[in-house]
A and B are shown apart, each in its own frame.
Chain A
Amino acid sequence: EAAVTQSPRSKVAVTGGKVTLSCHQTNNHDYMYWYRQDTGHGLRLIHYSYVADSTEKGDIPDGYKASRPSQENFSLILELASLSQTAVYFCASTPGLGGEQYFGPGTRLTVL
């Protein structure tokens, strides 16, 4: 079974601070994604990556950067955290386009 891990699992950040969320997968999947989920709502795509050293903008990229330094690792960076970025963030990976996405356990981010 696909193994996707995220760190930290929860974080409290201050407005204007920098936050880095990390994702690691051990299944040699080429495709990785970052989503955010607001309470009681669906998942929205922030950034994704098809290959190491390359990232693509998703549907809601404003205020976020992404980094894919290796096939296994995919980070989401909030340079200047804002209150509106309080949410649960999920990383996912998939071996190919149009297939099952395997989600990590999520990171609960609270910005105060």
Chain B
Amino acid sequence: GEQVEQLPSILRVQEGSSASINCTYENSASNYFPWYKQEPGENPKLIIDIRSNMERKQTQGLIVLLDKKAKRFSLHITDTQPGDSAMYFCAAYNTNTGKLTFGDGTVLTVKP
């Protein structure tokens, strides 16, 4: 199987600063790593993802880094805004099992 650990579970930052969330996985057969944002009462929505053939991906204020040797990947939100406040989940897809395993989530609060 796969286990994904996500830290921190709670993150509070000041508006305009950066926020970073870190995840680790166990199985080297994992090759796809999406990040989802979930607003209260809503469903999770994909915000950025990275595959194992890449080390870095950036889109609209979001940066994802992948370190395959360390089995670690991270999400960095630059210039945070109050609208970035939400729950964020990382996940790892295992090609052997065909399953997507989620971390437990990070509650991000951006203070004005």
Contact = CB atoms under 8 A, between A and B. Distances in A.
Interface of A: 33, 35, 40-45, 48, 50, 58-59, 90, 97-101, 103-106
B99 A42 contact: no
Interface string B65-93: 00000000000000000000000010001
Contacts of B49: 100
A97 B93 CA distance: 9
Interface of B: 1, 6, 31-32, 34, 42-46, 49, 89, 93, 95, 98-105, 107
B34 to A, nearest CB: 7
Given A42-B103, A43-B89, A59-B99, A98 B43 contact: no
Contacts of B32: 98-99
13 contacts: A41-B104, A41-B105, A45-B99, A48-B99, A59-B101, A90-B43, A90-B44, A100-B46, A103-B43, A103-B44, A103-B45, A104-B43, A105-B43
Contact of A98 (B42, B44, B93, B101): B93
Contacts, number: 49
Interface of A is mostly: loop
Interface of B is mostly: strand
Contacts of B95: 97-98
A6 to B, nearest CB: 9
A40 B105 contact: yes
A8 to B, nearest CB: 15
B38 to A, nearest CB: 9
A4 B98 CA distance: 20
B94 to A, nearest CB: 9
B99 A43 contact: no
B43 A101 contact: no
